[in-house]
Every structure is written in C-alpha cells, then in structure tokens.
Chain A
Amino acid sequence: MSAAIGTAVAPAVAVRRRRIRPRRVLLYGFLTSMAIVWLFPLAWAFYTSLRPFSDTQANGYISAPSVLNLDNFIDAWGRGNFETHYFNTLIITVPAVIVTLVLASMVAFAVSRFTWRFNLLVLLIFTAGNLLPPQVIIVPLFKLYTALKGIPEPLSDNDLLYNQFFGIFLINMVFQLGFCIFVLSNYMKTLSKELVEAALVDGAGVLRIWGAVIMPLTRPALAALATLEFTFIYNDFFWALILLKDGNRRPITSALNNLQGQFFTDINVLAAGALLAAIPTILVFLVLQKQFISGLSLGSTKG
C-alpha cells in the first residue's frame, strides 16, 4: 500500500521541489546535523574503545590517535567473561522468543477466531499485564521465586525459580506474552474468516487449524515479532538483575552493571565492553530492519 502512495505523491512533489529550494536546503541541513548529533555518542564510544588507555592518557581524549587497535575489546572480553554471559543470554533469549510466540499465537487465534464470551476480557488481561511497570510486581515475585519449591532438576539446580535461567526465561516469556498476543490478534483479525470455516467443515481440529492454516498465514507478523522480541529480551536488564544471584549467571545486558564497576578506572575498556554487548542487537537491526520496524508499527497502528 505504501508503494501506491509513493507513486501517487511523487509527481506532485517533483513539481514543488523546484519552487521551494531554500527550504529544501534547510531541511537537509537540519536532518543532517541531527543525524550527526545522533551518531556521535556511538561513534565516540567506538573511537574511545579503539584507543589504548596509555594513548588517551598521554594525548587526552580529544586528540588524534597515535595507535588504534582492538586490545580493549580483547581485554574486555577476557576480564568481563563475555563467553559466559553471551551463553547465558542465548540460553534464555532463544527459548523465550520461541515459546512466547507459540503460546501467543495460540491465544491470539482463540481470541480472534472463536467468539466465546470472555475473549475480550482475556485480551484485556494480557495487554494490561504487559503495560504494568515491572517494579510494581517485583516484591511478591521475588518472594515467589525464592519460596516456591519443587522446580525439577533440568530446569533448576536449587529447587527454586530464583537464580535460575529457567526463572528468567519464564518471567520474560510471561511478561512479553501480552504484547505478542495484542499484535497477533490484531493481525489475525485481518485474515479471511472463510479459510478457518472451510477447515472446520473439512473436520480439522482446532490445533490442526492453528498449525496448518493460521501459523503459515501469520508468518510475516511472527517474523516481525521474533525480531522485536529478540531485542526486547536480549535487552532485559531488570528481571535478570533482581532474580539472579550469581554474577556469572547473568546474561550480558544485566552483567554490564558489574562490568562497569570492574572497568571503572579504564573507560576505554568500558567502551569496548558496552559495544560488545550492543553488537548483536545492532547486527540484528541492520539485517532485519524491516521486520523490526514493522513489528513496532503493528503494535501501534492497527491496535
């Protein structure tokens, strides 16, 4: 649809472009200076991270470099235990994204297709839950995590949810369900009702319809949500900070809190550490920018 708009408007704009030249220059000037301001903090972090501490000590931070190398990254990687933290992130994030999407699409399917009495209420419960500030529930949740016993062995090594990858997976998953259900149910409303009805007539069960009809049709929304949820859960700071005790179980984002204490005296290594933590999401964004943006847009415009 946006392509159609683009072609319709283009001729009109082309005519106008010649008439108001100075305003165009102003526009590009403004946008370009904003873009430079926007890139600067990241560029500065990158520049600082490439300079050895001795170089910045000798010449000052605002100076031409005498040496540029990756030593700070190697240093940060080793001292910051990045292998462990990346692994922790992976083991939490990937299952959380998958399970969230599967469960959310089931709920969204039920809510959008079957007009049973409480479907709107269900949608409200999930969406409202997702909008709560996490700190509102943290006190009882913390207690629940430390008191609820009987979590079996492969999921927990201390009988509890506290200090376990499984616990962090669980709260991220539950918390994100709301947003995904909200987006997916909106998306599913736009699909044609006849497909499901035809499948029902053919005698297919609800689960089968969900798996064979709905899942393939919602693939674009699922792809967008997967990209978005990956960054959301990767970027989670709060749950892992509070609900994990061992520093070496922390995923990378919440591990940054300790790293900054450790690298306090050497800001160049700190810069490298922060960039290492940022690189996966930046890469995902640059490669899957369309998915990322359409995920955010689905949540706002169609609601």
Chain B
Amino acid sequence: MVGVPLVLDMIFIWGPTIVSGLISLTNWNGIGSPFDAEFLGLKNYESLFTAYPFFWPALTHNIVWLAWLMLIATPIGMFLAVLLDREIRGTHFYQTIFYLPVVLSLAVIGIIWKLQYAPEQGFINNALGRTSNENLIDWLGNPDLNIWAALIATSWRHVGYIMVLYLAGLKAFDPALREAAKVDGASERQTFFRVVFPVMMPINVVIVVITTIEALRAFDIAYIINRGKNGLELLSTLITNNAISESNRLGFGSAIAVVLLVISIGPIIAFLVRMLRNSET
C-alpha cells in the first residue's frame, strides 16, 4: 500500500535530488553515464561564484522576490483576510474576487499582465500617453524595471492565496478570546496585534514558509515574460537555461540546483518541524 508510491517518490524525486548533488561535482555534458564523467570537486561552484556573470544577479533577484512577497504581498493578503473575517455584507463577493487569480496558471497571469505592460498596445503606457518611440516605457524589456513588473503580476495571485490561508486560520480562532480582549477595553488594532496574531503563530509560520517557498520556486512568470533573461534571471531559470535549453552544462547547472536546494532546506525544515510538533499533540 505504501510501497509503490514510496518507490516512485524515491525514483523521481529523491533519487534525482541526490544525483543532482553528485553531478554538480563533475563536468558531465549529458553524454554517457554521469559516473564516467571527470570529477571536478568544487570547481563548478568556484566558477559559479566567481566567474559566472549571472549567478549573483539571479540570487539577488530571488532575494528581492522574497523580500517583496514577504514585506508587501503577504501582509496585504493577511490584511484583506482580517478585514473580510468580520461581519461584512458581501464578504463572499469580495473573497471570490480576490481569490480569482489564484486559480489561474502563472503562464496565463504572465500574458494577462503583458496586456497591461506591452509598450505600444498595453494599457499602462496608453493610459500614461507614452506610446511613441521617444517616450515609451518598456516595462518588460528594461532590465531595471521588469523584475518589479513581474513582481506586481505575481502578487496579483499571491495576495489571494495568502488571504485564503489566513482566513481559514482566522475562522478557527476562538471568538471568546476576542470578546475578552474587547471587554478589557482593547482597540481593534490592539486586539489583533496582542491577541489574535500571537495565538495564530502556527499559521503565521506556515504563511512565512509558504511565502519563502513560493519565492524560491518562482519560474513560470519570468519564463513566459522573457525566458528569465535580461534582468529577470532567477536561480530556477539559470538551471534550465544552462542544463536543458541551450548548452549541455549539466554539471554546472546541477551546481546551481544544489545552491537552490540548500536555500530551500531552511523553510522545508521549518515546515516539517511544525508538522511534527502538531502530530505529537
């Protein structure tokens, strides 16, 4: 009953994860067995950190991505959840609207936002009157701007996602605690920050973990905009561009994968620890 799924999980997920680590120590180009390739030690990592021009920009973009989601998109989602958790007329109507982007694929979202950002045909430049050649703003082509454009598009979905999760947590919140705080004369803001937020700590942890994982997984939107190049490099797009699309630098691509894996381990462990703690009680 458990055997078949477990074997599949090992072959297709954990096997490749380990092999990634091994390949990253070789110069394997995809031909023949990876075990026959030349062993390079940490050379791939060395050239990744010192010589490869896209590594640090990509890492920076992932960090910017994470910071944006954590400091802007996630708090907006939580804020909407708090507002919609009250007795509000039409709360389901508002919820449906904010959830709606969550069901769309990031590929669709990328295209829908292209209709906003397109230099001559997009809504934003038309609204600003900047569609002629001398003054148009190239939102997706300008490497200083496109990451912010992508982040806004991503947030359109992320906010709703966080809102759903946080609302579920708030629904399970014991209303007696809130009543008690009110009786004690706490304002709504005090009630939230001093009572609700601390009690919701387990959910807050999940929200932080999910936000971090989303930031590390970011790929689809950058890829659909410009294949993750020219200002939109992310660790995830570097892996695919190095190892699959253009070149056959599988060892080198795997080294980037290992860096991404190492960064991901933190939030994954945080999630698992919480899961373990829950199953003990």
What residues make up the interface of A, taking CB atoms closer than 8 Å to B?
1-2, 5-6, 8-10, 12-14, 27-28, 30-31, 34-35, 38-39, 41-42, 44-45, 48, 56, 60-62, 103-104, 106-107, 109-111, 120, 122-129, 131-144, 170-171, 173-175, 177-178, 181-182, 189, 206-207, 210, 231, 234-238, 241-242, 253-254, 256-257, 260, 267, 270-271, 273-274, 277-278, 281-282, 284-286, 289, 292-293, 296-297, 300-301, 303
Contact = CB atoms under 8 A, between A and B. Distances in A.
B80 A34 contact: yes
B168 A301 contact: yes
Contacts of A181: 5
Contacts of B254: 139-140
Contacts of B127: 62
A38 B97 contact: yes
Contacts of A303: 206, 274-275, 278
Given A128-B268, A131-B268, A133-B236, A141 B107 contact: no
A257 B114 CA distance: 13
Contacts of A274: 108, 111-112
B60 interface: no
Contact of B257 (A128, A138, A173, A207): A138
Contacts of B17: 132, 136-137
B101 to A, nearest CB: 7
A183 to B, nearest CB: 12
Contacts of A254: 107
For the complex of A and B, the 9 pairs showing the least CB-CB separation, nearest first, are A297-B168, A235-B105, A140-B16, A137-B16, A140-B19, A274-B111, A135-B236, A285-B103, A129-B13
17 contacts: A31-B94, A38-B156, A61-B123, A125-B6, A135-B240, A136-B258, A139-B16, A143-B250, A235-B105, A237-B105, A237-B220, A242-B240, A277-B108, A278-B108, A278-B112, A300-B169, A301-B169
Most A C-beta atoms less than 10 A away, residue of B34, B115, B216: B115
B86 A297 contact: no
Given A174-B12, A267-B121, A296-B164, A238 B101 contact: no
A139 B105 contact: no
Given A38-B97, A41-B116, A132-B268, A284 B250 contact: no
Contacts of A8: 175
Contact of B5 (A104, A134, A284): A104
Contacts of A132: 13, 17, 261, 264, 268
Most B C-beta atoms less than 10 A away, residue of A6, A103, A231, A293: A293
Contacts of B217: 133-135
Contact of B103 (A139, A174, A207, A284): A284
A60 B108 CA distance: 24
Interface string B245-274: 000001001100110110010011001101
Given A38-B97, A45-B112, A132-B264, A9 B175 contact: yes
B147 interface: no
Contact of B1 (A38, A131, A141, A206): A206
A44 B116 contact: yes
Majority secondary structure of chain A interface residues (helix, strand, loop or mixed): helix
Given A44-B123, A237-B220, 19 more contacts: A34-B80, A61-B121, A62-B126, A106-B5, A131-B267, A133-B213, A133-B264, A135-B236, A138-B257, A142-B243, A143-B250, A177-B9, A237-B106, A253-B107, A274-B112, A277-B107, A297-B168, A300-B169, A303-B278
B100 A42 contact: yes
A265 to B, nearest CB: 10
Contact of B261 (A136, A175, A241, A284): A136
A253 B223 contact: no
A277 B111 CA distance: 11
A131 B268 CA distance: 7
Contacts of A42: 100-101, 112
B145 interface: no
B30 interface: yes
B181 interface: no
Interface in B157-191: 160-161, 164-165, 167-169, 171-172, 175, 179, 182
Given A131-B268, A277-B108, A297-B165, A138 B2 contact: no
A128 B30 contact: no
B111 A235 contact: no
Contacts of B236: 133, 135
B257 A135 contact: yes
Given A139-B257, A297-B168, A300-B169, A267 B115 contact: yes
B103 A282 contact: yes
Contacts of A120: 276, 279
A166 B206 CA distance: 33
Nearest to B224: A257
Contact of B275 (A13, A127, A231, A289): A127
B50 interface: no
Contact of B100 (A28, A34, A38, A177): A38
